[in-house]
Structure 1
Amino acid sequence: MTTEQGSLGVLIVDDSPVVRTGLRALIGTEPDLAVVGEASNGDEAIRMAAATRPDVVLLDVRMPRRDGLSVVAELAGSSAVLMLTFTDDPSVISQALSAGAVGYLVHGTFDASALSHMIRGAAAGVGAFSGPALAALRTTAQVEAPSGLRDGGHSLSPRQVEVMDLVAEGRSNSDIARTLFVAEKTVKNHINQIFASLCVSSRAEAIAAWVGLGKPAANLGPSVGPGTLRRAPLDP
């Protein structure tokens, strides 16, 4: 729910009062972001989300009563869910993404500016992954899916592979354009073509498929294919 001041509404879900206070303080410094509520467990998160209709939910994994993983799918039906936790277990990351989370951040691996940027991106359906989370995803791909899309089995051009590798690092379109010395519009065109080739509809789905957590949607059931992440991106 965009607030009356035009800010993006954020719901913070974490069982630690200290973490919630810190996140509220960080978010409060951004004029276009507003904390609309807090919750300390999954049950409270469901109730608060229904009452406040946040644009983005920052969701911890390990909490009492109901943990974060058990409520991702329900929350993702109306909000963008961005996991924000101390847990970098690859299996947990995989479960969160499959359930509908648009990104996964590990505490201590990003600053306030990066967090704000990733909250805005999540609201637009853009996936966000901090370094440890992305490393865990790649480890999972190497161990469980050595023939995943990143290592072959796709129809992307060499340039599109370069773009997709940068997308998987959480880079924005403008960052990718600067890195590859091309126009940002060119990057957008490449990403549209990548989405079509990988049969995905968002950055988060593309990253999950690229690092080996999923295959093209045509070969998958509903748990990973397009539609799992209910908030489609406004812009690739």
Structure 2
Amino acid sequence: MTLTPTRTDVLIADDNPVVRAGLSALLATAGDLRVVAQARDGREALHLTRVHAPDVILLDVRMPGVDGISALPHLVCLAPVLMLTYSQEADQIREALLLGAGGYLIHGEFTADELVRAVRDARDGRAHFTPTAATAVLAELRSSSQTQPSVAQSTERVHNSVVFGLSSREVEIMDLIASGMNNQQIAGACFISEKTVKNHINRIFAKLQSTSRSEAIARWLGTARPGVTGRG
């Protein structure tokens, strides 16, 4: 008796209709995969995920309105998420994985068969990366192993991260701000663009309820109490 393979329902979130159509066609080559919904941004992806309850979500990073990174923490609570994007920045890959993505595929680096396998892997809880993403992850692991902080520093960083709700990358950038680095220097130290640095700083200021670098540093170093807004 031949067992029928379990069907896997997939939701595709990408603002480009051509990309969505191409992915749907590729997934249609596998009899056990079915695209149940297509979303144009993160907000629509969250709504359609609640409606259709897909087994796997394919999520782009850059979309107008609510982007993939912003939607990711909410989507991973509902289904496994596989990033599928043109975005190759190591910082974006790192943040997506920290926020719960189950893999990271970059367009142009996979075949139809590899995409199908990656979707099945995501469904079964196995990570899947295309070469550029895998290289970025490996570089991050090597960098982390060479710059291990002391126990006291680690405890303080974890405490600050929990109190203010900062991601590990935001903690890193806030430490660099506190050391006196400007945006250009931070970009060089973190191997990211100045635009990405500015985006991180905007999120950091919002979480620290600060309007200036000096105020953010004061809160971060404990000389101002969280929840008390000052002027800087």
TM-score (norm 2): 0.60
Q: Calculate percent identity across the aligned residue pairs.
A: 41
Q: After the TM superposition, which parts of structure 1 deviate over 3 Å for at least 4 consecutive aligned residues? A: 141-145, 220-224
Q: SS where residue 69 of structure 1 aligns?
A: helix
Q: SS where residue 116 of structure 1 aligns?
A: helix
**1:194-221 superposed Cα distances (whole Å, 9 cap, x missing partner):** xxxxxxxxxxxxxxxxxxxxxxxxxx97
Distance 1:140 1:49 in 2: 31
Mapped pair 1:8 → 2:12: no
Distance 1:17 1:140 in 2: 33
Q: Which AA in structure 2 matches 1:141? A: L
Q: SS where residue 9 of structure 1 aligns?
A: strand
User: Which residue of the partner structure matches residue 103 of structure 2?
Assistant: 103
**1:26-69 superposed Cα distances (whole Å, 9 cap, x missing partner):** 11111000001000101100011000000000000000000000
Q: Which AA in structure 2 matches 1:124? A: D
Which stretch shifts more, 68-77 or 134-143?
134-143
User: Which residue of the partner structure matches residue 177 of structure 1?
Assistant: none
Distance 1:49 1:120 in 2: 18
User: Which residue of the partner structure matches residue 140 of structure 1?
Assistant: 140
C-alpha RMSD of the superposition: 2.2
Q: SS where residue 25 of structure 1 aligns?
A: helix
Q: For residue 144 of structure 1, report the CA deviation from its aligned partner.
A: 5.0
Mapped pair 1:25 → 2:25: yes
Distance 2:136 2:25 in 1: 29
Distance 1:42 1:83 in 2: 12
Alignment of 1:8-87 (within 5 A): 8-87=8-87
Distance 1:74 1:42 in 2: 10
Distance 1:141 1:110 in 2: 24
Q: For residue 147 of structure 1, report the CA deviation from its aligned partner.
A: 5.3
**More helix by proportion, 1 or 2?**
2
Q: For residue 98 of structure 1, report the CA deviation from its aligned partner.
A: 1.0
Q: For residue 105 of structure 1, report the CA deviation from its aligned partner.
A: 0.6
Q: Which AA in structure 2 matches 1:70? A: S
Q: For residue 143 of structure 1, report the CA deviation from its aligned partner.
A: 4.1
**1:154-187 superposed Cα distances (whole Å, 9 cap, x missing partner):** xxxxxxxxxxxxxxxxxxxxxxxxxxxxxxxxxx
Q: For residue 94 of structure 1, report the CA deviation from its aligned partner.
A: 1.1
User: Which residue of the partner structure matches residue 170 of structure 1?
Assistant: none
Distance 1:46 1:85 in 2: 18
Q: SS where residue 36 of structure 1 aligns?
A: strand
Instruction: Give the number of the structure with larger relative contact order, counting CA–CA contacts within 8 Å between residues 6 or more apart.
Output: 1
Aligned length: 149
Mapped pair 1:93 → 2:93: yes
Structure 2 spans left out of the alignment, 5+ residues: 149-160, 169-232
Which stretch shifts more, 133-142 or 88-97?
133-142
Distance 1:145 1:106 in 2: 26
User: Which residue of the partner structure matches residue 119 of structure 1?
Assistant: 119
Q: SS where residue 126 of structure 1 aligns?
A: coil
Q: For residue 15 of structure 1, report the CA deviation from its aligned partner.
A: 0.5
Structure 1 spans left out of the alignment, 5+ residues: 149-219, 225-236
User: Which residue of the partner structure matches residue 209 of structure 2?
Assistant: none
